A = this chain, B = another copy of it.
């Protein structure tokens, strides 16, 4: 496994591999790698001949009051994780490499970025789509792998890819969870022990919603109230949003009459967590 820091070097290596006719898979990350990332890498490993992982904490997707500074960074242990998982190339650029001058060019996806996290993190998705475009242009992969845990991000990127005719296949992989259901996240390590315990209620609320829906409850108001009640069991949980939206357009639904995304965000102390499930009552619940 190689670890490179410069754009020129990653381009050179990938171009050599491409000339050998190999299929290239790409997993963009912000590091602090956990089992969710490992699952993406393993999927990439299965579907591609050469796997690139980028590790870059992207400043433009953090708001001014967000955790850019304290976001966990540990390239050494991340590199060990990548090596163990069979990654071929780790690309770990500096901010100066990715933003060599004041950034004037932005890629924005309308409509999909207004609701859910977009409503609470202004500019966040613009930062995500812009840095992903840069990374896709640099890494030049055939496929890119994203986790369903960040469902809105995955849906936004998939739309960007289609609209801009990016020659890239986006694969969305299932959320990986701890044994109590909590979605694995780099931010879970911020949680205090009591917060960590209560955090499992997030997924519990989602499963309650799914159960009710499968039993025939299709009124969104009722389903959201049931989830609010579950989260209300912990005084540590401050819900930011609990929403049920159209899976393609992310527009709010009143009735579950089509494939839906049930998504929530909450604060536990200073930590912001998100989670979601997909409700597609015509098929078993699955990936985005």
The smallest beta-carbon distance between A206 and chain B, in angstroms, is 27
Which residue of chain B lies nearest to A105 when distances are taken between CB atoms in the complex? Answer: B163
Q: Which of B7, B101, B138 sits near A163, CB closer than 8 Å?
A: B101
- Give Cα A244–Cα B148 distance, bound, in whole angstroms: 51
Q: Are A163 and B112 in contact, CB atoms less than 8 angstroms apart? A: no
Q: Number of A interface residues at 8 Å Cβ cutoff, please give it.
A: 30
Interface flag for A164 (CB, 8 Å): yes
- Taking CB atoms, residues of chain B closer than 8 Å to A106 are 107-108, 110
A105-164 residues at the B interface, CB under 8 angstroms? 105-112, 129-130, 133-134, 137-138, 140, 159-160, 162-164
The smallest beta-carbon distance between A154 and chain B, in angstroms, is 15
Q: Which of B101, B104, B107, B163 sits near A110, CB closer than 8 Å?
A: B104
Which residue of chain B lies nearest to A161 when distances are taken between CB atoms in the complex? Answer: B105
A68-125 residues at the B interface, CB under 8 angstroms? 98, 100-101, 103-112
Q: Which of B100, B104, B162 sits near A159, CB closer than 8 Å?
A: B104
- Give Cα A86–Cα B162 distance, bound, in whole angstroms: 32
Which residue of chain B lies nearest to A139 when distances are taken between CB atoms in the complex? Answer: B165
- Give Cα A184–Cα B201 distance, bound, in whole angstroms: 68
Interface flag for A11 (CB, 8 Å): yes
- Taking CB atoms, residues of chain B closer than 8 Å to A11 are 167
The smallest beta-carbon distance between A250 and chain B, in angstroms, is 11
Which residue of chain B lies nearest to A166 when distances are taken between CB atoms in the complex? Answer: B137
- Taking CB atoms, residues of chain B closer than 8 Å to A137 are 164-167
Q: Mark A202-219, 1 if CB is under 8 A from B, else 0.
A: 000000000000000000
A165-224 residues at the B interface, CB under 8 angstroms? 165-167
- By CB atoms of chain B within 10 A, which of A111, A140, A167 has the most? A167
With A134-B165, A165-B134: A105-B7 Cβ-Cβ less than 8 Å:
no
- Taking CB atoms, residues of chain B closer than 8 Å to A164 are 105, 107, 130, 133-134, 137
- By CB atoms of chain B within 10 A, which of A105, A111, A140 has the most? A105
